[in-house]
Chains A and B, each alone.
Chain A
């Protein structure tokens, strides 16, 4: 089974985020970058499908600046076969979900695939739109929040279990299709030492957006970014005994918090 994985490099979840002086993005200096955790599920799923069918190729496609190669190499070290790195700093700077999906669609277009895997969202900007727009641009069905996937022997259709509020829904879809991975889909493997050594020799096709023959304008632009307000100090309620304190609590909830 041939698959494509759309993968994004994001700041490590532990990063202390600072807003840049223009207020339009984060300070990217001194950050540790990793593969987006949801994309790890996507890579793992692609590898497992390949292993199940004992044939096929896993191609990673990533849009990002020079540093994104590190996350791409991680994917190759996990076991992916090849990669396309859309490395175009100017484009990347202002790319919104639409522009990102359009660039990815252009890169994916010429590849052979039975399925495309994405993470359900990138944990940095959290927009969660790319899989859907990609589906629209490629004319493919999209199944989001997948936690289980079974592909038919002849690779013409798949049954996917999706997470829905309070439960699960099982859907059938014809292939090729796009799947966005939710936590629980699988347990991503670690890159092994032999994998890391092999990764160096695997081909990475580096392209600019104009190499892809597309010119896309983003549809949205970030005007302002701000950190959540610092948490207010807690308040200790005064009162002689429990009854007094309960009264004070009810009063505070009603008058100050306006919750009751």
Chain B
């Protein structure tokens, strides 16, 4: 069955040709796998996504969730999908086999998710369970692991992540849910959490909530926060389910998108009987959360990528079929045949803009996941630190850049559909609505920008950031003398230099007391860095594509610089078409989008602080 979820050739290219993930199997941790097996897993992921997950996208959006007598019901179609998803083992892809997971490299589970996550309302249920299980796996006692993990791994039980409160959104440290110490070492919880994804639902028989709260008497702010396990049904020692815990689902939110995902308001302990167990050590709640942050943020970044990908694939298909207007050569002739809109220059511009961003984001997300794997399997300290550093600096880019660009790609894809894109008979407007949340939760994009500029740039005395700059430079070096790529390599080098230069400018501003310059420019800087990172990855992709294209050409006795011969080849050879498309993405992006970096740098260096100077009264009268 054809699916317009993603370009599988692009996926294989990034995994097998760019990152050469097969080599991960040389390490004992992944020795049970092989490149063939990875491919087979992704074939199956594609099949499952196309036949089961995608078909529930529209109906779950229309049906939404409901709350009846304190119990949340998910869209009907999710039940079958969830059952099959768990039977397939997709819900515990990357957990180690010791705890009942499949032990896949993160880069492969990320690639599988690339197929699934366009329907984020659905994947939020198993996704949140995975996150909660991971917390217990890393920080739980042996007893807690035995009690909770097995059923979470099979998907019989669900999980959540309960941080947010009405007065503690971006500022989690301000939370007021309190934990009251009990003589037996357990706690009783009291307080209200809002916006809790998958906070209740009928896909599972029990739900395990990791909840952030403050133990009575502990200090205010992030330092006084602890993490607790709050089960929906308290688990008896023999593993059976005991009493329903004392918390109530007071409402589910009406939202712009992800209607199939239940966003719950939870009141804990109205009757003073909300049982809670400490997870990890007291007052370490925020620290624990931070350790999970990279993974969770990369997960949300995937939502940006997958929405962009499905929107682009749909727009491309539509542009090939929709006849409107005549081609540019005949624009004055009203009797000329109508042409598919893919022939209009402005539509081609939109398509290529989307294509290059989607491919850059895919490379970025897979690269970040690959860093997690490399960090995990590398023994040499220095080498491991290198991968860890890439991951630290790239995480806010994965999260904020990919979710904001993802939204803009969805918007552009609607534009390609014209009036039909705006109407609900087509899925385009839903892609956009579903994607929007990704820039808000898991730390808003504004908070991500502060994390990048305020923390990540200076982390390890700036060595992590400089390590990434070095990595980008080494790709430029590889291609700077290549006749097909040297002008692109030159431009990317200039972009990298500008980025490094602005980061230095931030450092000097801060040193001379002008903190507001980096802080108020954090977001423009993040987006600028995202564009430089994209250019680096697209150049790298183009480099490999050039080599492969040359090989195909020489096999067929074609001179790759002979345009006519090459375009003939591209018409009949799929691989040649693909590689040539890679070159087009890189060239378009580097020549047409990357120059935006210079404008941002110029604006930042102007030291203009109008945003801080304008009086609140002057925003509107």
Chain A interface (Cβ within 8 Å of chain B)?
Answer: 13-14, 30, 70, 73-74, 77, 189-194, 196-197, 199-200
Contact = CB atoms under 8 A, between A and B. Distances in A.
B40 A193 contact: no
Chain B, interface residues (CB within 8 Å), range: 20 to 34
Of the candidates A14, A77, A196, A200, the one having the most CB atoms from chain B within 10 angstroms of its own CB is: A196
B181 interface: no
B281 interface: no
A193 B1 contact: no
Interface in B462-518: none
A193 B34 contact: no
A13 B77 CA distance: 26
Contacts of B37: 196-197, 200
B102 A190 contact: no
Interface string B369-407: 000000000000000000000000000000000000000
Nearest to A74: B40
B84 interface: yes
B41 interface: yes
A192 B1 contact: no
B28 to A, nearest CB: 16
A30 B32 CA distance: 29
B212 interface: no
Given A30-B574, A190-B88, A197-B32, A14 B2 contact: yes
Contacts of B32: 197
Interface string B77-97: 000000010011110010000
A190 B2 contact: no
Contacts of A30: 573-575
Contact of A190 (B1, B33, B36, B84): B84
Contact of A196 (B44, B574, B575): B44
A190 B40 contact: no
Closest CB pairs A-B (n = 9): A193-B89, A192-B88, A193-B102, A14-B2, A30-B574, A192-B89, A191-B44, A194-B89, A196-B40
Interface in B19-58: 32-34, 36-37, 40-41, 43-44, 47-48
A193 B2 CA distance: 22
Contacts of B36: 200
Contacts, number: 47
Contacts of A70: 40
Contacts of A197: 32-33, 37, 102
A23 to B, nearest CB: 18
Given A77-B40, A200-B37, A193 B104 contact: yes
A41 B366 CA distance: 36
Given A14-B1, A196-B37, A200-B34, A190 B89 contact: no
13 contacts: A14-B2, A70-B40, A77-B40, A190-B48, A191-B44, A192-B88, A193-B44, A193-B88, A193-B90, A193-B102, A194-B102, A197-B32, A200-B36
Q: Give chain B's interface secondary structure class.
A: helix
Contacts of A200: 34, 36-37
B406 to A, nearest CB: 27
B41 A193 contact: yes
Given A189-B87, A193-B44, A194-B102, 5 more contacts: A13-B1, A14-B2, A30-B575, A200-B34, A200-B37
Interface of B: 1-2, 32-34, 36-37, 40-41, 43-44, 47-48, 84, 87-90, 93, 102, 104, 573-575
A93 B509 CA distance: 73
Nearest to B101: A193
A197 B44 CA distance: 12
A190 B574 contact: no
Contact of A192 (B34, B87, B104): B87
A194 to B, nearest CB: 5
A7 B574 CA distance: 28
Given A30-B574, A200-B34, A193 B93 contact: yes
A30 B1 CA distance: 17
A169 B575 CA distance: 50
A196 B1 contact: no
A70 B32 CA distance: 18
Nearest to B32: A197
B99 to A, nearest CB: 14
Nearest to B48: A190
A178 to B, nearest CB: 28
Given A192-B87, A197-B32, A73 B40 contact: yes
A157 B88 CA distance: 34
B34 A196 contact: no
A44 to B, nearest CB: 14
A34 B565 CA distance: 33
A41 to B, nearest CB: 15
A194 B43 CA distance: 15
A68 to B, nearest CB: 14
A207 to B, nearest CB: 21
B426 to A, nearest CB: 21
B41 A196 contact: yes
B98 to A, nearest CB: 14
A77 B45 CA distance: 13
A194 B574 CA distance: 33
A13 B51 CA distance: 14
A25 B90 CA distance: 39
B43 to A, nearest CB: 8
Nearest to B2: A14
A15 to B, nearest CB: 10
B241 to A, nearest CB: 27
A34 to B, nearest CB: 9
Contacts of A196: 37, 40-41, 44
A229 B43 CA distance: 33
Of the candidates A70, A193, A197, A199, the one having the most CB atoms from chain B within 10 angstroms of its own CB is: A193
Contacts of A189: 87
Given A197-B32, A197-B102, A200-B34, A190 B41 contact: no
Nearest to A18: B572
A114 B44 CA distance: 30
B34 A190 contact: no
Contacts of B41: 193, 196
Nearest to B85: A190
Nearest to A69: B36
A14 B44 CA distance: 16
A199 B48 CA distance: 18
Of the candidates B102, B574, B575, the one having the most CB atoms from chain A within 10 angstroms of its own CB is: B102
Nearest to A73: B40
A22 B193 CA distance: 70
B612 to A, nearest CB: 52
A77 B37 CA distance: 11
A77 B575 CA distance: 29
Nearest to A201: B32
Contacts of A192: 87-89
A192 B102 CA distance: 10
A189 B93 CA distance: 19
A6 B36 CA distance: 23
Contacts of B34: 200
A222 B84 CA distance: 42
Contacts of B574: 30
Nearest to B86: A192
A194 B40 CA distance: 12
Contacts of B88: 190-193
A3 to B, nearest CB: 22
Contacts of A194: 89, 102
B35 to A, nearest CB: 12
